[in-house]
Chain A
Amino acid sequence: MSPRFVYDGTFEGFLSVLHHLLNNVEDPEEIQTSEKSAQHSLWMESIYIRSDIEHSKNMKERICNEISPEAFRHIYYAFLSDRDGVEMDILQYVNLGWELGENLIYQIADDRVRRIHNLSAKVRREKHRLLGFIRFRLLPDDLLYAEIAPDCDILPLVAPHFVNRMSHRRWIVHDRKRKKTALFVDGELKLLDEEIIRPQHVPKKEDPYQSLWKRYFRDIAIWERHNPRLQRSRMPKKYWNMLLEKEPDIGG
């Protein structure tokens, strides 16, 4: 019976698994995060692979050189989709990649390729959406704070964008769903696997620009062109709770 491989849930950890598989020519039944495998039965033999920076770097290089950097990007993005079983799909993709090299990414008619590219497109889409939808609030001490709860783990993808945009400020993007935090202080970005502010501890007081924005948003629609369906298709309802302008009005 082929074994199950378990890793710590990080991308480095997953690359370390790939590295191990490649060097030991093993054929896994499953690759799982330790969190998920803890809920599983003990029937299957599991092997824990430790996250190893060198191994993961080496794997990244090999994929970039022997397949293509574009393929590596697809792998990374698909990984961030957080979808159950994505690890095995990526494994199939990489294995096909060793055969096809840089031609891999053009084989979109092949299911193994399409599956990964669709996932990566999904992540990319959500990342792009959130670059626009994230709303910062000004907290005391000039700290900008934003909360998100995306379907995919896009925090590491959006954080660098805000580093460019606000390099002289201090800010936090907080993924409520995954309890992760991107923290930017003193010119340095840190991605933390923990919540450093509990949402209930964030002061509720509105800053004046919030009401200005809401007001502005209401006034720019042309009612002769009113089109809520189009609005919803562009800005799906599931994101409305993070959008200030879509908050129901409380008085005034």
Chain B
Amino acid sequence: MRKDGTFIAVEVADETAADAALATKLTEACPVDIFATADGGKLEIVEKNLDECVLCRLCMDAVGGRGPDLVKILKLYDDGAVLV
């Protein structure tokens, strides 16, 4: 799953998006509410908040350090550089 803002894009691996426990962790971790949990526990990316991303990496920590593999933060203003 991927959503793009003007400055930031977020990509979440399908297995992560479908994992209710990880979805909850991501929803709780992000300080600017980029993740939400839909009914049924599936992860959603809140498009209107994408450009608020503060590049804090908390989402990457929340998925057990498997950051860019499971959750990718892309800086669109920097040729799509991936936050590591």
Q: Do A and B come from the same complex?
A: no
